[in-house]
Structure 1
Amino acid sequence: MAGPAGRRDKNTVQSIRGTRIAVAIVIGILFGGIFAFLYPHGLFSPIQTSPFQGRRLSKSILQIGSTACESTERMNMLKSDIIDLSRKNDELKKQVRDLTQKLMAAEQKNGKAEQQVEVIGDPQKAGPFGSVKGIRTNPMVLPDSTVNPRLAKILKKIAVQNELIVVLANSNVKAMLEVWFISIKKVGIPNYLVVALDDGIVDFCKENSIPFYMRDPDEGIDSVAKTGGNHAVSGLKFRILREFLQLGYSVLLSDVDIVYIQNPFDHIYRDSDVESMSDGHDNMTAYGYNDVSDDPSMGWARYAHTMRIWVYNSGFFYLRPTLPALELLDRVAERLSHPPPAWDQAVFNEELFFPSHPGYIGLHASKRTMDRYLFMNSKTLFKEVRKDGDLNKMKPVIVHINYHPDKLPRMKAVMEFYFDGKKDALEPFPDGSE
């Protein structure tokens, strides 16, 4: 058995051991607290935020950090610029959309399309497939004799079924007008009128008992009417013809370089606002064709289809007294009255054929191309018809010497060929002009 001393030693050892454990625990807790304070994100974390670590950074590391900060600032500035540009681009796109919408609204307001649609009769139910046909003929305007009472009185005597041939002439074209008139008389056409642009034509008409009309003086266009050449006078007709339509008459406008071989009113359809002869020289150019454009640089999409037609001749066309026909005259006359100078035939066709598009409202007029062999231009006659044994036996309605400058001798030759039966009358002339 152990004595009291042995027990004290044993107790002492146990007491020392307990103290050591307590001290170790306290030390562990202290070290844990210190590490927790110095390394809040862990000992091996890539993010070092301790102020003690910041003090241990070397000078070189500080310099690298400074450069990195500058690069970051530049990147942030570039990002900011990109964001600003993107916002400005979005604003510009919005402005373009707004302007486009305003433009469309203005066009719709100016065109007043909804007000121009005239409903004829009650709404109709669509019929079976293939039986639906749209309205091709616009209603005629109500005649207004107050527009020009003097002209209304003349037209009432001359017109047949409210239609007539109208030709404008000054003394510069007197010789051609005489051939024009002789052919009219030979065919026996009763409803025609010469709009005399000067006193010389008035005297000529009186001497030959030709119905004529001389306009009241107009300072704006009289100088052109009296002294102008073919193209200048041609531009006046669009303004002058307006009164004929307002009075309720259909007009077959004729240039003076035309020979009449049949009565044209027997060959007019009257199903459109405008019927016109064509400058085309074959069926494709006169009536339209699909022309394929080739752009090899486009690869698979190299071929583009286009619709083409040769222009209507502004020297021979038939107008019904409808609103679209009046609008056509107004548009062409307006454009020809302002610079730059323009060819009336080009303007005439642009207004007839150009469709509505942004910034422009097209003319909604129905149109018909006349038979190219009946209403024949001089290219068709001299390049094709006179050389064909069957075609040269045909009897056209008119021949328009529009492709050749030697108009008078060719007009006389056409008269001899068709009226006098002189088969070689057309042979001395070349196909084109020399």
Structure 2
Amino acid sequence: MAGRREPPLMRTGLGSGQPPSRGSRIAAAVAVGVTLGCVCAFFYPDGLISRSTDSALHWRRRADSVTCETSEEVTNLQSQLASLERKNADFRKQINELSMKLQMAGQGKNQALYSAGPFGTVKALRTNPTVMPDESTNPRLAKILQQVAVKKEIIVAVANSNVKQTLEMWFTNIKRVGITNYLVVALDDSIENFCKSKDVPVYRRDPDEGIDSIGKTGGNHAVSALKFRILREFLQLGYSVLLSDIDIMFFQNPFDHLYGDSDIESMSDGHDNMTAYGFNDVFDEPSMGWARYAHTMRIWVFNSGFFFIRPTIPSIELLDRVAGRLSREPKSWDQAVFNEELFFPSHPGYEGLHASKRTMDIYLFMNSKVLFKTVRKSAQLRKLKPVIVHLNYHPDKEARMKAVIEFYVNGKQNALDHFPDGSE
């Protein structure tokens, strides 16, 4: 049996069975130390413990590196943020362009928006986008309009007790035509109760100091001025309004004959094609000699008692301008102010309104001057059936309104004959 093998350093010689001597153990220890020293010198040439200054330098270098990296990251983030902002602006621009192109598509336009097409084919954008509806401005009115309006369109009349009989003629004709999307804005309790008793859609405004007193006791012009402030709420709610005075007779549904492509579409006070749609009027000043003739452009005013207004920013700005001026200039006529704000161009010291406009067909949307001065005397024009007739030129309104109904509804051909052209 083989005996226990001892470690090599414990052996004294080949084949020796004696334990190592004391000198042999010292030599072995020295050999081990030298060997370990060589190994440490090879793997750690700078020593196992670095000097403090070297360590501090080492950490400063790392701190400087971190600071540099942080600064670069901030710069990169700022660059990315600027890039995202530019992209966001581009997206907004694209959305606006798409919105306008959709509007053009709705009008049957196929031309590129910003690139000019062939000669004679270029058409600018006519229709401004509508505002975002805000029902919080008047939740009660919003609820009424949801029930009454058709395709976000409604006829609106403003009335107080001074005009009850004329108002009844107004809504009786509307019912006869079959129009359902109409609403009376009652300025006092009496008119509100009267409309309810006749099954007429009515809206009674909330109490408003100052405005209430005008509505209850004011005459035609005062009430007419008030309507611009009232209409603003309808537009804020996102509804297009056909504003109607109550001295108007309806014979067709007006919404079937509106273009709806402009901020304001109004009937004219003009009595023929020139005065209603515009003409070149030459002004003669003989004292100027060779330059005595000056050309002017003229158009008769829009009638502020019958116009279609879309819920756009220019439309709301128009209402604000007119209502603001009438509050500051109580003696001004609302129709004059309405037209001045609508037509006066920008000039030094004044910024004009950027609103699109359309004049209604004077034989469909007929004022009483056109009817009594021209239409009733023409065999051909008498055959036309108007959409509405506005008795705006004559003070004997009720008598003429009844005669107009006899002529167009009951077919009484001589119903208009005994009236003078004017208000003699």
TM superposition score category, shorter chain reference: 0.7 to 0.9
Q: CA deviation at 1:124?
A: 2.8
1:346 equivalenced with 2:336 (yes/no): yes
> Match for residue 264 of structure 2?
274
Quick one: which of 155, 169, 172 aligns to 2:159?
169
**Structure 1 residue 120, shift from structure 2 partner:** 2.5
Deviation at 1:119, TM superposition (A): 4.5
Q: Counterpart of 2:172?
A: 182
Post-superposition offset of 1:199: 1.2
Q: Which residue of 1 aligns with 2:230?
A: 240
Distance 2:211 2:349 in 1: 30
Residues 91-122 of structure 1, C-alpha deviations (whole Å, 9 max, x = no match) = xxxxxxxxxxxxxxxxxxxxxxxxxxx95239
Q: Using the alignment, how far apart are the partners of 1:427 and 1:271 within structure 2? A: 38
Give the aligned partner of residue 67 of structure 1.
none
Provide the alpha-carbon RMSD of the alignment.
Answer: 1.5
- Count of aligned residue pairs for this structure pair: 319
Query: Aligned partners of 2:342, 2:329: CA distance in 1, in Å?
Result: 20
**What corresponds to 1:52 in structure 2?**
none
**Secondary structure of 2:243 counterpart:** strand
Residue of structure 1 in register with 2:211 after alignment: 221
AA in 2 matched with 1:216: D
* 1:287 and 2:277 are equivalent in the alignment: yes
Give the match's secondary structure for 2:280. strand
Query: Aligned equivalents of 2:121 and 2:381: distance in 1?
Result: 37
- 1:154 alignment counterpart: 144
Q: Tell me the TM-score normalised to structure 2 length.
A: 0.74
**1:417 aligned partner:** 407
Structure 1 length-normalised TM? 0.72
Q: Does 1:254 align with 2:211?
A: no
Does the alignment pair 1:197 with 2:158? no
In the alignment, the residues of structure 1 paired with residue 134 and residue 195 of structure 2 have an alpha-carbon distance, to the nearest angstrom, of: 28
- Given residue 183 of structure 1, which amino acid in structure 2 is its aligned partner? N
- Structure 2 distance, partners of 1:271, 1:314, is 19
**Is 2:110 the partner of 1:120?**
no
C-alpha deviation, 1:424, in angstroms:
1.1
SS of residue paired to 1:352: helix
Residue 292 of structure 1 aligns to a residue in which SS? strand
1:206 Cα deviation from its structure 2 partner? 1.0
Separation of aligned partners in 2, 1:288 and 1:120: 33
Deviation at 1:339, TM superposition (A): 2.9
Higher relative contact order (CA 8 A, sep 6+): 1
| Distance of 1:429 and 1:120 partners within structure 2 | 55
CA distance in 1, matches of 2:118, 2:329: 52
Once residues 176 and 183 of structure 1 are traced to their aligned partners in structure 2, the CA distance between those partners, rounded to angstroms, is: 11
Q: 1:366 to 1:233 in 2, by over 3 A?
A: same
**CA apart distance, 1:304:** 0.4
For residues 174 and 232 of structure 1, the distance between their equivalents in structure 2, rounded to whole angstroms, comes to: 16
* Corresponding position of 1:327: 317
2:291 and 2:364 map into 1 onto residues whose CA distance is 41
Alignment match of 2:254 (pick from 259, 264, 271): 264
* 2:417 alignment partner in structure 1: 427
Inter-partner Cα distance in structure 2 for 1:340 and 1:148: 27
Aligned counterpart for 1:404 among listed residues 388, 391, 394: 394
Q: Any stretches of 5+ residues in structure 1 without a counterpart?
A: 1-117
* Structure 2 gap ranges (5+): 1-94, 102-112
Secondary structure of 1:120's aligned partner: helix
Give me the whole-angstrom Cα distance separating, in 2, the residues matched to 1:197 and 1:350. 27
Q: Structure 2 counterpart of 1:330, which letter?
A: D
Q: For 1:340 and 1:231, locate their aligned partners in 2 and report how far apart those are by CA, in whole Å.
A: 10
Q: Deviations over 1:131-188 (max 9, x none)?
A: 2111100000000000100000000000000000000000111111011011101100
C-alpha distance in structure 2 between counterparts of 1:389 and 1:129, whole Å: 43
* Structure 2 CA distance for aligned equivalents of residues 323 and 223 of structure 1: 29
Q: Which residue of 2 aligns with 1:358?
A: 348
2:357 partner letter: K
Deviation at 1:340, TM superposition (A): 4.9
**What are the superposed Cα offsets for residues 366-389 of structure 1, whole Å, 9 maximum, x if unpaired?**
000000000000000011101111
What CA distance in whole angstroms lies between the structure 1 residues aligned with 2:187 and 2:418?
A: 34
What is the distance in 1 between the residues matched to 2:329 and 2:312?
A: 28
Matched, 1:383 2:360: no
SS at match of 1:376: strand
Q: C-alpha distance in 2, partners of 1:220/1:171? A: 18
CA distance in 1, matches of 2:274, 2:390: 20
Amino acid at match of 2:388: I
Query: How many angstroms apart in 1 are the aligned matches of 2:273 and 2:304?
Result: 19
In the aligned structure 1, how far is the partner of 2:283 from the partner of 2:310?
Answer: 37
Cα deviations by residue, 1:398-431 (Å, 9 ceiling, x for unpaired): 0000000011111111111111111111112111
Equivalent AA in structure 1 for residue 165 of structure 2: A
